[in-house]
């Protein structure tokens, strides 16, 4: 719902309202973001909070008093000394702007954001255009809301209305100000193998900036930030989430100003960003997905999960059954031929899997990580007869076949590099940084993207491939393109991301029946941008059953379980060396799109029967896991227990997985309260053979079973009757 009258705007989604007004100076100010209010409340807001935001009427230098005004588009060089949203350098070197309201329009649907991931449709959009008093620059702020979603989407378009070129040195997607409220700030930090760890700290005065400068959204900082009221916990209290639908270098900052005001702002990272905008050109920023929850962090996560599933993930795949697969990477690494792969295929079929995925090493001259990237043709020394015999073997055993690519990369020891040494990012004559001995292709160049599209398409056209794993194993460096003029070098990082999106769009359009999984050295590019093209992403290279639980917990704060690809791997774990029971590895991997990543032929008979059982069990609950609502019940970050429940939308079923870290002497009974069920319904907990109401399961809880170190358990909960005794 969007209401607009006399320079007052009210937007509403599921459980929240967002209000703005145009003040006496023409500035667009925020009035409210939080619980639902009505259009008639706008008068009250303007006469109350709006008044204190207006400058004193009798002061001749009124704008000098506006520092701290909750601005929808803060600009540089005048009234507002906190972080600006847009800085545009003009031909005379001047940067000062003064953006005031010019016009607005409301329309059904979402803004056209070409060539980038975006909300897909429905809803209603308010577009407010502001013009600069000092230059021909115009900014259009887009706000899209959906009645049924607890998330709104914001972005902006910046136009050079005439005259000389301008250079955007900052073009953020959104700004959201709060007047005099105290918050804690939450981020998801990490590194390779330990992605997306939640960290909460008090928001101190000054700027708290989260960013990636690596060309990808990164393992280290996810493009997400949340402001949390001090009394907010998992199930109660208010919080605000801000998530970018973007996969490249980004910045998100929260600033506590000296007047007590808080500003959250962000978008494409402005470090080394300089975008030339010729006359009449527009720059469109990525979208930001903004969420308000008064049901704690859990409410925010569920709102984000619903939004990503409804608006970001391709509807063809969102509810599709995910294949239970085996991937050969940790089983063989680069050392394979059909003689090693066939037995894995055979075993996978016997154990009930659906798909075999051949990982790195099948192409070019690729026996280790030093060569071959870019040469997307089969290495027939390793795979005699090409992929066909292996694919035939899969088919004969009733399995589909999946294949790994790393489209954005090239090895110096490759035919592609020898033919096109200038196709890399970097300046010739300067020694490039090599990570994993590879270089990054310059995807800002159309011909490079087109070539890779052709090469990958040939493999997909000529083979029966149902699944593609798209990997990306290094960050960007040298940020220089031999195809861009000097005054456009600051565009490279964003143009690279646009090239990645273009290839992803072309491939997913050309092969609509192929299921794509994203990956970036584990979870180095786990963001809503990539989820637009790839319905699931390899969550982390760390598959240790204990560490993985933490990674999945953190990831679930703003992404749905259906986005997480989760595998059972061998022990001792290849990343941590830890030994975790097989059942625990299976239980943790069941909380997403499950699979296996180990040498099935080396499993004991006991383990094989566990795999078969895990798959049978998973196929009973996969719909619930992928489509249900997540309730996090016990945090592995501040207790020895990890426990989460996935509850079906109709609240008739729930699936609970718990894991204990290290056992302690004289451990007391640990109660886990089950949230998310219907208080008035009766449920049976299969494993405990007991019946209780949803209210009892929430308020009294269940006792966590005793397990050894890293032991785990599941509770399958089914509705049996309502309070009146009516069976369902």
Residues of this chain that bind ligand DGJ (CB under 6 A): 329, 359-360, 404, 471, 473, 519, 521-522, 538, 541
Interhelix angle 338-350/388-396, nearest 10 degrees: 20
Interhelix angle 605-627/582-589, nearest 10 degrees: 20
Of the candidates 132, 354, 541, 542, the residue annotated as catalytic is 541
471 is catalytic: yes
Give CA–CA dist 20/167, Å, rounded. Answer: 29
Q: Which residues contact 246 (CB under 8 A, 6 or more apart)?
A: 116, 117, 173, 217, 223, 267, 268, 286, 287, 497, 527, 528, 529
Picking from 516, 547, 657, 515, the residue whose alpha carbon sits closest to that of residue 591 is 657
Picking from 377, 313, 360, the residue whose alpha carbon sits closest to that of residue 519 is 360
- Helix-strand-coil split of the chain, %, nearest 5: 25, 35, 45
Q: Whose CB is nearest to ligand DGJ?
A: 360
Using CB atoms within 10 A of its CB, is residue 669 exposed (0-12), middle (13-18) or buried (19+)?
exposed
Question: At 5, phi and psi to the nearest 5?
Answer: -160, 135
Of the candidates 294, 471, 542, 544, the residue annotated as catalytic is 471
CA torsion 444-445-447-453 (nearest 10°) is -10
Give CA–CA dist 378/486, Å, rounded. Answer: 39
Picking from 480, 494, 86, the residue whose alpha carbon sits closest to that of residue 273 is 494
Give CA–CA dist 495/444, Å, rounded. Answer: 5
Give CA–CA dist 163/280, Å, rounded. Answer: 9
Q: Are 29 and 50 in contact (CB under 8 A)?
A: yes
722 is catalytic: no
- What is the H or E stretch that residue 492 is in? helix 492-510
Minimum CB–partner distance for residue 539 and ligand DGJ (Å): 10
How far CA 481 is from CA of 165, 419, 443, 486, 718, in Å, comes to: 21, 17, 9, 9, 58
Complex with ligand DGJ: residue 522 or 581, whichever CB lies closer = 522
| Tokens read off for 48 | 């109350």
Picking from 92, 216, 304, the residue whose alpha carbon sits closest to that of residue 521 is 216
Complex with ligand DGJ: residue 329 or 713, whichever CB lies closer = 329
SS3 519: coil
Q: Are 667 and 690 in contact (CB under 8 A)?
A: no
Q: Are 539 and 551 in contact (CB under 8 A)?
A: yes
**What single DSSP character describes residue 218?**
-
Picking from 11, 80, 15, the residue whose alpha carbon sits closest to that of residue 42 is 11
Minimum CB–partner distance for residue 538 and ligand DGJ (Å): 5
Minimum CB–partner distance for residue 521 and ligand DGJ (Å): 5
Number of residues written out for the chain: 728
**What single DSSP character describes residue 411?**
-
Q: Which residues are catalytic?
A: 471, 541
């Amino acid at each position: 719902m969007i209401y607009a009258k006399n320079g007052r705007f009210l937007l509403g989604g599921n459980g929240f309202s967002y209000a703005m007004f145009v003040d006496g100076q023409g500035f667009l100010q925020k009035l409210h973001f939080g619980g639902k209010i009505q259009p008639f409340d706008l008068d009250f807001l303007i006469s109350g909070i709006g008044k204190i935001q207006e400058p004193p009427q009798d002061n001749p230098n009124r704008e000098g008093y506006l520092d701290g005004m909750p601005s929808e588009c803060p600009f540089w060089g005048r009234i507002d000394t906190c972080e600006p949203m847009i800085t545009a350098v003009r031909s005379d070197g001047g940067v000062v702007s003064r953006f005031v309201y010019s016009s607005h329009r409301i329309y059904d649907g979402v803004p056209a954001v070409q060539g980038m991931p975006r909300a897909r449709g429905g809803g209603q959009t308010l577009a407010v255009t502001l013009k600069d008093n000092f230059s021909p620059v115009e900014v259009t702020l887009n706000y899209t809301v959906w009645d049924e979603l607890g998330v709104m989407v914001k972005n902006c378009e910046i136009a050079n209305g005439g005259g000389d070129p301008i250079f955007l040195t900052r073009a953020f997607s959104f700004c959201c100000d709060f007047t005099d409220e105290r918050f804690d700030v939450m981020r998801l930090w990490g590194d390779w193998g330990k992605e997306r760890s939640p960290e909460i700290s008090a928001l101190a005065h000054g700027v708290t900036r989260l960013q990636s400068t690596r060309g990808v959204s990164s393992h280290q900082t996810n493009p997400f930030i949340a402001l949390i009221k001090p009394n907010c916990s998992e199930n109660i209290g208010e919080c605000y989430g801000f998530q970018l639908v973007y996969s490249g270098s980004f910045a998100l900052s929260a600033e506590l100003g000296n007047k007590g005001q808080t500003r959250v702002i962000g978008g494409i990272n402005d470090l080394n960003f300089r975008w030339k905008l010729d006359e009449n050109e527009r720059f469109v920023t990525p979208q930001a997905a903004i969420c308000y929850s008064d049901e704690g962090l859990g409410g925010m996560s569920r709102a984000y999960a619903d939004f990503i599933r409804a608006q970001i993930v391709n509807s063809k795949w969102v509810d599709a059954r995910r294949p239970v697969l085996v991937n050969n990477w940790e089983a063989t690494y680069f050392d394979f031929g059909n003689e090693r792969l066939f037995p894995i295929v055979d075993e996978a079929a016997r154990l009930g899997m659906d798909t075999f995925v051949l990982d790195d090493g099948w192409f070019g001259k690729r026996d280790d990580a030093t060569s071959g990237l870019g040469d997307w043709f089969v290495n027939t020394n390793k795979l005699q007869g090409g992929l066909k015999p292996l694919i035939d073997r899969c088919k004969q055993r009733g399995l589909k076949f999946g294949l790994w690519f790393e489209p954005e990369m090239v090895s110096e020891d490759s035919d592609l590099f020898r033919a096109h040494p200038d196709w890399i990012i970097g300046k010739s004559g300067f020694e490039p940084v090599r990570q994993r001995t590879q270089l990054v292709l310059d995807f800002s160049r159309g011909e490079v993207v087109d070539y890779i599209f052709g090469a990958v398409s040939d493999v997909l056209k000529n083979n029966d491939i149902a699944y593609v794993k798209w990997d990306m194993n290094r960050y960007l460096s040298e940020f220089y393109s031999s195809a861009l003029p000097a005054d456009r070098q600051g565009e490279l990082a964003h143009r690279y991301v646009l090239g990645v999106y273009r290839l992803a769009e072309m491939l997913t359009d050309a092969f609509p029946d192929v299921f794509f999984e994203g990956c970036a050295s584990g979870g180095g590019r786990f963001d809503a941008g990539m989820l637009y093209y790839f319905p699931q992403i390899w969550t982390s290279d760390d598959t240790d059953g204990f560490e993985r639980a933490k990674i999945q917990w953190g990831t679930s704060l703003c992404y749905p379980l259906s986005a997480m690809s989760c595998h059972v791997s061998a022990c001792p774990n290849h990343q941590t060396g830890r030994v975790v029971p097989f059942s625990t590895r299976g239980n943790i991997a069941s909380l997403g799109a499950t699979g296996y990543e180990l040498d099935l032929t080396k499993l004991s008979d006991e383990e094989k029967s566990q795999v078969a059982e895990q798959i049978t069990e998973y196929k009973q609950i996969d719909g619930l896991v992928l489509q249900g609502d997540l309730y996090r019940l016990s945090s592995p970050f501040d207790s020895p227990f990890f426990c989460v429940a996935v509850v079906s939308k109709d609240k008739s079923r729930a699936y609970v997985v718990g894991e204990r870290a290290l056992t302690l002497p004289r451990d007391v009974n640990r109660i886990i309260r089950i949230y998310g069920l219907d208080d008035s319904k009766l449920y049976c907990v299969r494993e405990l053979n007991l019946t209780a109401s949803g209210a009892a399961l929430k308020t009294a809880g269940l006792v966590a079973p005793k397990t050894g170190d890293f032991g785990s358990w599941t509770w399958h909960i089914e509705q049996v009757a309502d309070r009146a005794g009516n069976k369902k």
